[in-house]
Amino acid sequence: MRHRFRRVRSTGITALAVLGALLAVLPGPATAAGQPRADRLQRDADALRDAGVTGVAVRLRTPDGVRTVTSGTGDLATGRPVPREGYLRIGSTTKSFVATVVLQLVGEGSLRLDDTVERWLPGTVAGHGNDGRAVTVRQLLGHTSGLPDYVTDVAPRDHRAFEAQRHRRYSPEQLVALAMKHRPVFRPGTRHGYSNTNYLLAGMIVRAVTGHTWQHEVGQRILRPLGLEDTRAPEGHPYFPHPHATEYQQFTPGGPYADTTAPYLPFDTGADGAMISKAADLDRFFTALNTGRLLKPAEQAEMRRTVAVPDGPGEAPGERAGLGLFSVPLSCGGTYWGHSGSGIGYVVQPAATPDGRRSVTVSLHSRPADQDTGVRQLRALHNLIDHALCGISR
């Protein structure tokens, strides 16, 4: 998993780039003398809490059933526990839903992966060396377009800016226009480089092809058929239903932690990261996706055709990028597939084995500003997922 702001990947704002130290002195759950030590899943959740995450929730499904564990607190002011089945902002995990819709349209013959952006959105990608005639739909979905990321233009630099800017609405066209003020990061198709602009454009292409918003198509093609009643693709204000944990963001190293549970509209309304869900629904979606229930074989193969992802601090070694999915090797052999999501004050990581037999969703309800501690948190997150999917219990 990378550290960009809409995923767990590097953002253009250093203070929000990676997870970091946060309230590492929070006490762990009391254990009576002589009771057995907590099992691996609980210990791995506690390790994230001890690394500074305010609240952690984990849902693991295996052939033996479903387990949920939590650690830390769901709200620092009241001390209430982390909800075991709470609602989650899923950030860039939204991209997996949008990519699935685009690939369904490909399978129906409504568009092609090798269509150019210019074919569907004439004049939208232009200026400062950006050229929609040279960028394909495939490159958007796989982050090989080289297009600049709009996030650096709208991310808040501090809590005051968060509060001042969080109600400001941008259309996808406006956000893409901000990105077009910057030069491309690399020539299209030459390497991988994560950019949220890619999925704003993908959502716009869905509308150009179908005449409907990406939210409508996700609802009709995925949410309704799978019965994902706790998943929302909001077209208006992205209200956060109860129950949910409070989210906290540290904007500067050593600074205070701010409650950032309220939506930040420049980030929380687009096809790159607007959706809200629960862990059980994410499990159902990724299991259906991995086992071929949502895509025809040809499009499933395209989604899993991967390219190498550049290494970075705290990365999972060997990660590769497909179209709206990422694969990560497991220590026990094989890989898992998923797509992390992150925003101001939260991280979500769903992961599932290709056969659909095991899946895990981990939610972290704080993000700090210190990079070194952030890397430690990412490593603890990698460890939890690897242990859970490999069945490591000791």
- Distance from C-alpha of 201 to C-alpha of 273, rounded to nearest angstrom: 13
Contact 286, 350 (CB under 8 A): yes
Q: What are the structure tokens assigned to 288, written together?
A: 């259906």
Q: What are the structure tokens assigned to 156, written together?
A: 């808040």
- Distance from C-alpha of 269 to C-alpha of 237, rounded to nearest angstrom: 8
Question: Which three-class secondary structure state does DSSP give residue 367?
Answer: strand
Dihedral sign of CA atoms 302, 304, 308, 314 in order: positive
Question: Which three-class secondary structure state does DSSP give residue 385?
Answer: helix
- Distance from C-alpha of 251 to C-alpha of 283, rounded to nearest angstrom: 31
Residue 96 appears among annotated catalytic residues: no
> Quick check: bond before 156 cis, omega within 30?
no
* Stated length of the chain: 394
Q: How many other CB atoms are found less than 10 A from the CB of residue 89?
A: 30
Q: Side chain identity at 351, as an amino acid letter?
A: A
Query: Residue 27 gets which letter from DSSP?
Result: P
Q: What are the structure tokens assigned to 293, written together?
A: 């229930």
Among residues 188, 176, 117, which one has the least CA distance to residue 149? 176
- Distance from C-alpha of 70 to C-alpha of 68, rounded to nearest angstrom: 7
Which residue, chain included where needed, has tokens 């009241």? 78
Catalytic residue chosen out of the listed positions 10, 71, 92, 327 = 92
Query: Which residues have a Cβ under 8 Å from the Cβ of 123 and sit 6 or more positions away?
Result: 132
Q: How many other CB atoms are found less than 10 A from the CB of residue 383?
A: 16
Catalytic residues: 92
